Amino acid sequence: MLSDQQSGSGKPPDINDNLVKKPAEIDGMRRAGGFNGRLLDFIRPYVQAGTTTGRLDDLVRQYTLDHGHTPACLGYHGFPKSCCISINNVVCHGIPSGHEYLRDGDIVNVDLTTIVDGYYGDSSETFMLGEVAPQARDLVEVTACALLRGVAAVKPGRPLYAVADAIEPWVRSRGCSVVHQYTGHGIGRMFHEHFTVYHHRDSDEQPILMKPGMTFTIEPMINRGDWKVVTDKKDKWTVRTADGSLSAQFEHTVLVTESGVEVLTLTPSQKQAGAILMVPGMELNSDV
């Protein structure tokens, strides 16, 4: 394709244009996000003390296949299971296992990604099992709020780092820290596409403006203690807090609209709880 300068229109080239999706692609993203939300609602009642993360993974895979879709994590860069389940001090990329039992007091992130007709939906929630310590509850609430603050910051014309600005100072004011090493990402026909969505201000960041039709994830990982993380040397996937402190995460896939943001992965139950999940300018995915 010719750039604007080459074609002589006189307009400066816009590096954003290839990040914007066409209406048919946006419909594909709505369907993928809608399914991923329903999958999260499906798994919710099973996330209980006494079950194993391997059983949850089996249920996720079966429900996805039964609906004619594909679990995106399975085989992704060699990942061995259909979703990521990350307990307590595990930050992300926990590998489900039939030997790993959930216990009362755990905080458990279930991160689901599905391919629906070629498009990816990606979202996660951290569940609190039974009686959790006040510190753990506080962390989960801070993290849920961090995601909503990030979503509320999405508006055409703003730089992508408006998301980080809405999240990091506030998280720090609550005595928690934002993980730097893992970020949100552009998403579409690929799992991780085109650009990075930081949840903290990063000096390497290329300034990208949000434009209607862009789709990306916001997925802050928030630690009770220090932001530093370590990856398991044996399995090469499981990421833990370096200081052993608790970590939580919530994730949505979003679309930049003309007026603000549409949350593509809102679940039907989250939609019912609309009052607390709605933020100004936020639209709902009509497919949910």
Residues 229-288 that bind Co ion (CB under 5 A): 251
90 to 129: interface string for ligand MF3, x by CB under 6 A:
---x-----------------x-x--------x-------
Instruction: Decide whether 23 or 41 has the Cβ nearer to Co ion.
Output: 41
Q: Which residues of 135-156 are buried (b: 16+ CB within 10 A; e: fewer)?
A: ebebbbebbbbbbbbbbbbbbb
Least distance to ligand MF3, CB of residue 82, Å: 9
Instruction: Decide whether 73 or 148 has the Cβ nearer to ligand MF3.
Output: 73
User: HSE of 101 in the Cβ direction (CA atoms, 13 Å)?
Assistant: 4
Q: Which of 86, 251, 261, 282 binds ligand MF3 (CB under 6 A)?
A: 251
Q: Which helix (H) or strand (E) holds 43?
A: helix 23-43
User: HSE of 259 in the Cβ direction (CA atoms, 13 Å)?
Assistant: 7
C-alpha distances in Å from residue 63, one per residue of 29, 56, 67, 158, 229? 19, 11, 6, 38, 32
The one of ligand MF3, Co ion, none whose footprint includes residue 93, by CB under 5 to 8 A per kind, is ligand MF3
**Taking contact as CB under 6 A, which single stretch among the options 35-43, 77-85, 171-179, 276-284 is the one that binds ligand MF3?**
77-85
d(CA 217, CA 149): 13
Helix (H/G/I), strand (E/B), else coil: 70 = strand
Please tell me whether residue 84 binds ligand MF3 under the rule CB under 6 A: yes
Least distance to ligand MF3, CB of residue 88, Å: 18
Largest CA distance in the chain: 66
Q: Which of 202, 124, 116, 115 is nearest to 167 (CA)?
A: 202
Tokens in use for 267? Answer: 């679940």
d(CA 25, CA 273): 28
Least distance to ligand MF3, CB of residue 79, Å: 3
Least distance to Co ion, CB of residue 32, Å: 13
Tokens in use for 180? Answer: 């730097």
Please tell me whether residue 76 binds ligand MF3 under the rule CB under 6 A: yes
Least distance to Co ion, CB of residue 100, Å: 19
Where does this chain bind ligand MF3 (CB under 6 A)? 73, 76-77, 79, 84, 93, 111, 113, 122, 217, 219, 251
Where does this chain bind Co ion (CB under 5 A)? 111, 122, 217, 219, 251
